[in-house]
Structure formats: structure tokens, C-alpha cells
Structure 1
């Protein structure tokens, strides 16, 4: 037998060795066998003690005494009994026949009745099985309940605590009825750890979690019961902030203002979330007030249970204040330093801001000319006393592939077959000077054109475009053969940089030979127009997205004074248009969107205005259910003549379904429009359309499918209109 010391015995306690103990036990056995009769006699006369049976030599020197036993100086138990010692075990068992009763009747086993009240008290036997009677209860699910027995001090963060636990609980993930005892046991242990972690997040470092298990009724049949886990949460006192050490922050010139960015002070309640958030706020404040090289290490929290407080250490190293210097390009021939300085939203001498450095990086990426870009601050002049240092912004770029060939083939019920192709070099004239050749071959449209575009010309997101093209277009309303030259300078709103104000100005000259549509095979006479125009537009935009707005409004105004010469006469007129849209969320999944438009041409008769520049309605962006440009005045030959004034209105509800993780929306809509030959609307004929659409949200915007029905169609109008595009209708 092997003896091992108890760990709870005094350090000074000594135990004999295993070998000596073995000899001692062996000797005691020998004494017991040899002195059996003598001991019996002594017992009748005077009881012998254990000390009388053990020789003094065994106590004084157990090792030597044990060695003597092995030399044969002590009789064995066999010798004492006078029996021969067996050298080998018994090879054969003695023959001991036992008669088996031939007829034995066994009592039948009694069937056990199931216990009516089965409790799962031993399911989690490693945890205290205590439930508090006076506790506020929070039912998380049928299988999970939280109890809050502590009344004082109150658990001030209880509501948020329960919400976070519900979102992270592993028991909550079980569907009702699917849980079993093994699953519940495993997940209950994880949830107990989660509750303890959450308590410490909120500053309750002495909190306790008491886990119990019970049953819940499954319904009217009380014989069927299911397990339920209950956690009683005893937060204890909430710890507060002790000392706050922010490292070298006091060395910064703006130390007082930066300290206000870290809004944790001694005496505040401790909360890990707050520490993380305030560390981020301090880091952002350093980056936005001139500290490009500042460093903040991970926070350290020393908990003192006696004071119920935690001392917070956040090592901060500001490393000097700086202002912007020059922007330096790594590839001058491709994107020059001067051009990058025009893109940047800062000027030399302004206080460094990390957000502006990041903005420059995004702007270079948005050019589409680079495959990789980096922007780093480099010290040029160190700070001297109260004077800040200067940093240059080094921009490193890697050239992307600059040539693009694109093509598309499509078919539409209104436009027939359409094949489109283009070739573009996006930096043929550095910096950012692009040349594009394009062509269209289709049933109703043929076009060839060349476009020069320079992005970020004269400032950020300002674009100069010169476009020359020749086209032949045969629409529902007119047939036009046109040669045109257009120049535009604009400030654009892009998906990366949506702007509250976008504008554009330009000029256009064109020559076009046009006629109204052929009706019943009768060709109408063609008429040539020479047109010159100046134009300008501006957009106010408070919406939250260009492609899928959910709130805000947009208002766009367009104004174009034009002159037209045809058949020896000169005409002067003013084209104007206003479009407005409004977006309002209704609940969590529904957006109400409304649109209105008004347009007018003032100053010339209809005959002096080319058919392609008159006003029409109908189509996917106008009155759905009708064909493109199919709404408008008609002459006695039922030719669409176009008008000089237009009114449109649309209303739709974009209703989220939750289908495919919320990507699919249903959109019922109603549109109306009216076109008049006069310069102000007379509403002589108002066309209305209604229908239903589907939107599928993607990472770059919704894909739109609308099916519209004309409510008061003409005989030549189709019974239904289908429209597919990227983005919302408006």
C-alpha cells in the first residue's frame, strides 16, 4: 500500500518512507498471527496496548529492523502456524460439488411506476442549486429565465445588460422544443460564463451568478415536461474609476482640450465599453488637431476589491504637433504633385487632420487610374517650442490598366435590338485626361462619337467634357439625324462623394434634320434646324443615397436659353425644368417616395422648335405603363407633335419584405403626366398609370423591375409596360 501526504497537514509533519512502512505493517501482521493465543490470554488478564506489541528496535531504527526481517531472523506467518510454506499458488481447485435445485420459483419483477415530478436538479451538479423566491424575472425564452434578486444597490444597467445577453446567449439560439438535456447543460455553462463577463463589462467585479435547473410545462399534458435553465444575477456593488493616468498627454500643447476628449474621470462608474469608446475619441482628437505621429497603447485596469475601484492607465504619446506641407507624388509623369495638391482638401500651413489625409487617399483611388495608393505623413520640420512642425504628404501610387473595351447587347420592346461598344484610355493626356470612342448600332438608334474628359480639372470633382457625335434616332415621336458638339464644365456628385450641391454649365451647337413619325406609311416632310444653346443646372441634395435614398429631398433646376434657325427664320426661346423628390421612412422597412416635375418652353412657336427638343412624357422615368415619349399632343394625322409645357407626378411605397435577408422589396406605384402645346399646362389630357415593382438590393444599388398598366390608354398604347434598370425610378 502506498501512502501519500495530505496537502492540508502542517508543513512540519513528517511521514515515514514507503519501504519502512511496508516493513512495519508486515511485522504487525506477524505479531498478530504468532501471538494470537498469548494475546488472547493477556486480554483476559490485562489488555495489551499497541506499544507493547511493537519492539523498541522497530521504533528506534525502522530501516534496520525492516532489513532484519528480510534476512529471515523473524518468523513468517506460516512458520508460526506450523504449516508448510507454499512456493507456488494452488494449481487445481478442490472438487466441491454443489447441488442446484431443480425447481426454483423466482418471484416476478414488479413494474416500476414513473415518478410524476421528475426534476433535473442533478443536471448541473457542479453549480449551486438555489433559486431566489423574491427576484425580478426576465423571461428570455421558454428554456431560459433571468432572475434579479438584488434590490440594493439597484442594477442600473439592467435593461441594456439583458438585451446584450439575449443577443449573445447560446441557449437562446435553441429553437423551442429542440433542446435536450445534454445541449442545455453544455450551453448553460457557456451562458454562465457570458453573464459573468458581462457583469465585469459593466463594472460589477464582485458579481455572482447562481445557476439552477427546473422544469416547465409543455402544455396541458403535464406528464410531458421540459428542462428550463434559470440564472439569478447578483451584481453586487458597482466599481468606480480610481486614478486615471494618461501617460505623456500633458506634454501636448493642446493638453487641456485633448483631456476633454477623454471623458472618464475619477469617481465615474467603471464600464469597459466606455473605456474603449473614449480611447477611440481621444485617438480621433489627436489625429484631428495636428498629431500625425501620436500613439496610444492598450488600456490597463488595476482592480482594487477593497476600495471597489479600478485604476486606469492609458499610455499616450502625442509626439508633437504639425501642420500640412506640400503633397509629393511618387510618379510625377502619371499623377503630378501639383495635380494631387488640387485634389487635396487642405492647403499648406493648415493644421494636420488625419481625416483629410484619408480623404486624399480616397480621392486618388476614385480616379480609377491606380491599383494601389498610400498616403503617409513625413516630418520636414520638427516642432520648435510653441511652433508646430511641418509634414509633407507622400503619395505612392501603382498604375492600373488604363485601357478599357466595353460592349453590350440588348433588346427592348420600345427600342428593338441595340448593340453598344466603346474604347477608352483613361489617362491618355495626363493627368486624368481620358479619350473615349463609342458607337451604337440598333433598330432605332445609330451613333458614333468621340469624347474628351478631364477629371478633377480646376478642383476636386470638377469635370471638363467635350463631346462630338453624329446620330440617327427614330423614336415614337420623331425621326432625327443630328451632328452636335457639346462642352460641359460641372461639379459632380459621385457615389463616393455625394454632395449637397452639384452644378454644371455648358454650351451646345448642333445641326439636325428631323420630321415627325411616319403614320400609316405616309412620310412627313423633313425639316432642318440649326440650334445653339447655353445651359446651366444645379441640384440641392439632402438625401442619404444617390441610388437608393430613404430620407431627405432633392431639387434640380435646369435653364437653357436657345436659338434655332429653320426655313430661313430665327427663333429664340428659353427651356426650363424643375424636378423635385422627397423621401420619408415609415417604420423600419417602408419608405414613401414622391416626385414632381414641371417644364416649359417660353418664347417661340412649336414650329420653331426642333421635335427632338420639345417636351414629351411616358416611360420608366416618367409615367410607367406607357411607352417612351408616347404621351403628348397629336395632330390631325395622329402624329405626336410634342408640347411646350409638362407636368408629372409619382408616388410609390418601397416596402421591405425580409425575404433573402431583406434584399427584396415590393413597390406599388402610381404615376400621372400631362403635356400641353401651350407654355403653361392646360391639363387637357392627363395620362395615369399604376403598377407593382420589385427591388433587389445589391452592394452597388438596387436592381429595379417595374410592371406598369396604363389606366386610360389610347388604342395604340400597349396593355402593359415593363421596365428594368439599376437604381430607383427616382
Structure 2
């Protein structure tokens, strides 16, 4: 934190003299001109040359603006030079190579092998074969070095001065090696560790509010405080003390104290003090500077005063860096939100007067043209075209530019999960509209990511056993956003295969079209069924990335199912085939803060399903359900959550209704402590038959610590033969659960037991899944 260190120019003035204090270096240039040609000529003279000396004495022929070059002397005027030696004497001194008087010179050269043998012989023979130098020219003689063999003989015959060198080496098994001893790392006292205490004086003299904040910030960033009163030596303490002095000056300047005097001292500790040294920082904050004027240099805006209304700085308040930066950021955000996409906030200038403590704040702002949304263009590795980008936008062409709408479009593009990177940037078109605004084009840069996904899940619940699911999805097989997925489920009580086509943002933002075909087998205590299903649905649903307040769904489905059911007239269970057609509608309102782990708010959902059995004619009936839940944070770590559910089926007898379409209570998503579908009326064979109404309720206390949490809960509920909930014979289950929080939601493990357990009911039931229970 460095105060207004990012300020390009922070100026101070005092008594008529102005000093500019900024991040600029002063450059001083001094230029000298010198003419050095005559000097160089003199330096290059050859001593003793009279001709050169004479020319040096003459006045220079080089003149400003012209150059006069003297003419060269004629060759006939040059003096004749006498030869040093004549030709006769030179020839007499050169030996005649053609007819040598020395017979050795006429002999052929010896071979390399003979030369090496001769060189290995006595030095006298080598010396005798060397030719004598000519008497006229003395020759320097170079003696040849002995070869390797001779050198070895000389070394072997050299006298041994140290008797131990002549003794034989000991055997390897008797050779003793003395290990190298390394100095051990000394303890704290051997390393010269010193202890110190810190004294900070003078902050209390500033004012009543800022010292506490400055001191708290100083303690959190201080190098001395981080050292915990220990250092290897006094030099380290001194370095920390200097660093803290710079830190304190930056903190004071950030709070408006631009003329502090800070003194540091490192002294031996007094006898009454703990430690060896005392690191003392004394502060005289000086005067606190305040705004005497706030000047905004900008063209007029529409609406008028847009910049001033979003500039919270006031004349007379202290010049605090955090408030200045926050005010500028607020202006930079407000302008693009009100039709100025190309607005730029310039570099601030603050002129300080040391005599009065006043500061004149100047901020230049280039607002640019006021704009309205124009067209949308896109390029890159595209997942879909610009027309579909327009479907995702929540604005219309011609609307006043608003950067919040641009951010919303960017989030919607990210929410498709089709891109590795995506950017949305405004571009100037220069097209002036009727109201003197300018059309602004949005350019979308796409880089699509992998479109295929493989997912899986594993869960366990009492009464249901283990359930494993796997899915393969291509999220953009039929652009734009036409996804195809194949999924399978295999568990203790269910298995099946299915395929789904899903088009997201189908012709409208957040609208989804879904077509499903699936076949599965279920084997529950209440019934077992072989079922085929075709369904179509249009919906507006929430996702973990894009949670919506209002959700809805409308759909149709055709079901063919062969199910076993208890027959009262025969007293046994037999299989029966049902053909069912129906429509469904669902509306939800969600104010919670999270889809998988809510901590505040509430949810309310209503489902209505008009259906008809087509076995023998058309037999209609109505299924309806309402769910509500609420979440209240007692503290940051403790949340109280509760839910209720009511359901009813109207217009059909219990045993005229397919078992899979009846209402059941019990299980991990219903009343914990009981098996799946375990509550309600029981057949003589002690297996549930389901009902036409139900009521449920739950209360949880969720306590979180870090990435873990514990939950205590009480569940209650019952299913009834009657068409409306009776609120009698309600069963209760209590338990405790554990949570492990991940970036995609909590992992849930709940253990529950029924209250007033009846024969045949398990004493302990375990539930494992992803997400909170509700």
C-alpha cells in the first residue's frame, strides 16, 4: 500500500516556489562545442621531422565556412636520398647457396626415426651434429627438451629427499581413512540470535480515528512484527526497522499525512526490558491535507451531473488514497452503464499547499460519444453464429448502451459451457443516429472448447441400495446448443437406458426444449415395473452457474408400464399393464443464494399433473404437489433450514392407479430414518401399497467449519389412502450427518433412526448423495 503512489503527479507548493513531485526523472543537458583539428595534428607529428614542424608553425589553412587545401610540392624539388648500402656490398654479404663449401649441407635429410634415436642418445652427439653459425650473424641456440623416456629416466634417478616417499604403499585392507568432520550447525545461541522489542510512538497525536486503522494495518504488514521479536543478528533487526519506517510513511501518506517525520533508533534494551535490543519508531505525523477544491475536466454529460453525482469526494475531507481510488472507479463504472462505452478516466493531479494543508484535486475524464446498441458480430473458432448471440442478449438494437447488459451477455455465453474463452467488446462504428448518439457494435470473440462430456455418480440409500449412473453428452451436436446425451443407470433396485435431446436457449434466452426416450426396470418393495417412456418438455430451469428466481416447465408424456400390485380381491400380487398419457406444469420461485448449498432465502415450487389411464377408455385424474423450504443464517457458520411438502391425487381410486404413480413417503429425500417408500398403508404381506396424499416436514441445523460440516436433523411425514393429507399417525426420524464441501457442492452422508420403531423397521438407515437434503 503506497498511498497515492499510482498518482502520475503529486505536486507541492510553498511560498511562491513550486516543486513537482512525480514519477519523472529530471534530465539536464549541457552542450559544449570545441574544435579539435589543430590539436590532433600536433599529436600526430613525428618528432624530428622538420617539414612537419615547419607546417605546424604556419597558420592553419582551415577556416570557418571554407577549407583551403595547400598544393603538393613538385617531384623535382624533393631532395635526393643516398642508399644505405650499395649493390656490390650487399651481394658480397649474401652466401652462395648454389655451391656450398660445407659437405654437410649436401647430405640428404635423415628420417624421423633416425632423428628420434639421435635425440634419445647422448647430448654430445646431438650437439656435434649442429652446424656452426656464420661469423657475420650471431645465431641464438635453442636446446631441445628430452622426450618422455628420457624424462622418466631423469625422474627415476633423481635423489629422494623424503624417506617416506620411497616406502611401499600399505595393502588396501590396512589403509586407514580418517573421516572428514563437518562443523555442526550451532544452536540459536551459537548463531548469535538476538531478541528485540518494538516501540511505536506518536501515532496517537494524529487524530481520533485514523491512528487505530494505521496502527492495525502497520502491525499486520510490519517486518519487525512478523519476525516475532527474533533475528539472527542486529543487522537484520536494523534492516527490518528501516523497512518498517518506509511502510509507516506509505500508510500515513495513504491517509492524508504527506509531511510526516519518522525517526528510527536501534538501541540496547534497558535492564527492565525483555530482549537484547529495542527497535523504536517515533512519528510526528505533521498536518493532514484536505481537499480545498475538486475539479472535473470533462465535457457535459447526459443526464447532466452524471460524473459529479458519482463522485463521492467532498471539499474539506481528508485526502485518503482509498477514497480517491474508489471514487475514480465509481466514475469509470457509471459512465459505461449510462451510455458512454468508450469513456476513459485520466490521470489525477493533486496540488498540495504545505503552508495551508490544502489540496486541489483535478481529474480529467474523456467521456467519448454517447452510444446505443447496434449490431453484433462474431469470429474465431465459433460454436454458433451471431444470430444466436442476439438470442442470448437481454437488450434490443437501439437501446441505450449499458455495460451491465454486456456483462450479462458475457455470463450467458459462459453459461453455455461451449467455450474455452469468450470475449465481448464494444466497437465504434461512426454511425450517428437521429438523437445524435452513435451506434455501438458488439464484437464477440469465440474460442470453443471440448463439446463432449463423460459424467458419472454413485450413491447409496437405505431401502434403495447402491445406485451408479453414467452419461455421455455432446453439448453441441446440432448447433446452436443442440445437445444429445445417452445415460445409463445400474443399481440394486433399478436399471435402465435413456437418450435425451436438449436444445438450450431455444429461440429465447433461458428457454429449453427437451425430448426424452427411456426404458428402465425398477424393483421396489411397493412394486416392480418394466417401463417405457416418451416425453417432451419446455422449461426455464436453474443451473449451478445460472440460478434463476423464476422457473417454469410445461410438458407431455406417454408411459407404458407393466407393474406388480397388491390385489385386494385376490389377496395376492399380480402384474398389470398400464398405458398413461399426461401433461404437466411446474412453477417455482427461488430467492436462495445457492442451488446446491443455500444459506439464506426461500424456495416455493408447485407441480400439477393432469393424467389419464388409457387401459379401458379414458380415465382422467389429477396429481398435485407443493414444496417449500427456507434458510436462515444464525451466524456465519450456523444455518437453520426447514422444508414442508404436501401432495394429493384426485379423481381415481387407489387400486385403479398404477403403483408407480401413487404417492410414497420415506427415504433419503423424504423422511430419513425409514426405508425408501416405507411409510404409508401396508398390505398383508407387510409391503407398502402407496397412497393418494402425503405430508412431510424437516428441520436441520447445519454447522460448517472450513471444508467440513455437521448436520443435526428431525424429519416427519406420512402417506395416506385418502385424497387429502390427514395429519395423523405421523412418523418421525432423527439423525446426524456429515458434509464435505467441494467446489461443485457438498457431499452428504446422513445416518438416521426412526422414533418409536415398529417391527420390521431398521434401527439405522444410511444415505449418501451429492448436495444438501433440500
Q: TM-score, normalised by structure 1?
A: 0.72
**Contact 2:461–2:768 at 8 Å: present in 1 too?**
no
Shift in alpha-carbon separation, 1:123–1:663, aligned structure 2, 3 A = closer
Shift in alpha-carbon separation, 1:148–1:556, aligned structure 2, 3 A = farther
* Residue 325 (structure 1) shift: 0.8
* Residue 324 (structure 1) shift: 0.2
Structure 1 portions without partners, runs of 5+: 1-121, 125-142
* Residue 334 (structure 1) shift: 4.5
**Contact 1:323–1:349 at 8 Å: present in 2 too?**
yes
**Contact 2:711–2:737 at 8 Å: present in 1 too?**
yes
Secondary structure of 1:530 counterpart: strand
**Contact 1:240–1:266 at 8 Å: present in 2 too?**
yes
1:195-227 CA distance string (max 9 Å, x none): 322211111123344667899999xxx897687
RMSD: 3.2
Structure 2 portions without partners, runs of 5+: 1-193
Structure 1 counterpart of 2:643: 595
Structure 2 counterpart of 1:200: 253
In structure 2, distance between residues paired with 1:353 and 1:701: 33
* Residue 605 (structure 1) shift: 1.6
In structure 1, distance between residues paired with 2:362 and 2:195: 43
Residue 627 in structure 1 maps to residue 675 in structure 2: yes
In structure 1, distance between residues paired with 2:516 and 2:572: 32
* Residue 540 (structure 1) shift: 1.2
Alignment map for 1:676-695 (pairs within 5 Å): 676-695=720-739
Shift in alpha-carbon separation, 1:258–1:697, aligned structure 2, 3 A = same
Alignment map for 1:602-621 (pairs within 5 Å): 602-621=650-669
Shift in alpha-carbon separation, 1:541–1:310, aligned structure 2, 3 A = same
Residue 641 in structure 1 maps to residue 685 in structure 2: no
Match of residue 427, structure 2, among 375, 378, 387: 378
Secondary structure of 1:368 counterpart: coil
Shift in alpha-carbon separation, 1:399–1:333, aligned structure 2, 3 A = closer
Match of residue 217, structure 2, among 164, 173, 180: 164
Structure 1 counterpart of 2:623: 575
Match of residue 672, structure 1, among 685, 709, 716: 716
* Residue 288 (structure 1) shift: 0.6
Alignment map for 1:308-347 (pairs within 5 Å): 308-330=357-379, 334-347=383-396
* Residue 536 (structure 1) shift: 1.2
* Residue 403 (structure 1) shift: 3.1
Structure 2 counterpart of 1:563: 612
Alignment map for 1:197-236 (pairs within 5 Å): 197-209=250-262, 234-236=284-286
In structure 2, distance between residues paired with 1:712 and 1:216: 73
Size of the aligned set, in residue pairs, is: 577
* Residue 570 (structure 1) shift: 4.7
Secondary structure of 2:748 counterpart: strand
Structure 1 counterpart of 2:600: 551
In structure 2, distance between residues paired with 1:708 and 1:235: 64
Shift in alpha-carbon separation, 1:372–1:296, aligned structure 2, 3 A = same
1:410-436 CA distance string (max 9 Å, x none): 666644454544333222222111222
In structure 2, distance between residues paired with 1:385 and 1:645: 63
Structure 2 counterpart of 1:459: 508
**Contact 2:462–2:675 at 8 Å: present in 1 too?**
no
Shift in alpha-carbon separation, 1:309–1:536, aligned structure 2, 3 A = same
* Residue 232 (structure 1) shift: 5.6
Shift in alpha-carbon separation, 1:443–1:663, aligned structure 2, 3 A = closer
**Contact 2:565–2:576 at 8 Å: present in 1 too?**
no
Structure 2 counterpart of 1:108: none
* Residue 357 (structure 1) shift: 1.4
Structure 2 counterpart of 1:244: 294
* Residue 190 (structure 1) shift: 3.5
Structure 2 counterpart of 1:653: 701
Q: TM-score, normalised by structure 2?
A: 0.68
**Contact 1:242–1:309 at 8 Å: present in 2 too?**
yes
In structure 1, distance between residues paired with 2:704 and 2:269: 37
1:362-406 CA distance string (max 9 Å, x none): 212221222222212222234479610001112221233323344
In structure 1, distance between residues paired with 2:227 and 2:575: 75
Residue 712 in structure 1 maps to residue 756 in structure 2: yes
Structure 2 counterpart of 1:301: 350
**Structure of greater relative contact order (alpha carbons < 8 Å, 6+ residues apart):** 2
The range that moved more, 226-235 or 389-398, is 226-235
In structure 1, distance between residues paired with 2:280 and 2:560: 83
Alignment map for 1:150-189 (pairs within 5 Å): 154-173=207-226, 186-189=239-242
Secondary structure of 1:582 counterpart: strand
Bigger Rg over Cα = 2
Match of residue 744, structure 2, among 690, 700, 711: 700
In structure 1, distance between residues paired with 2:725 and 2:459: 36
Shift in alpha-carbon separation, 1:403–1:697, aligned structure 2, 3 A = closer
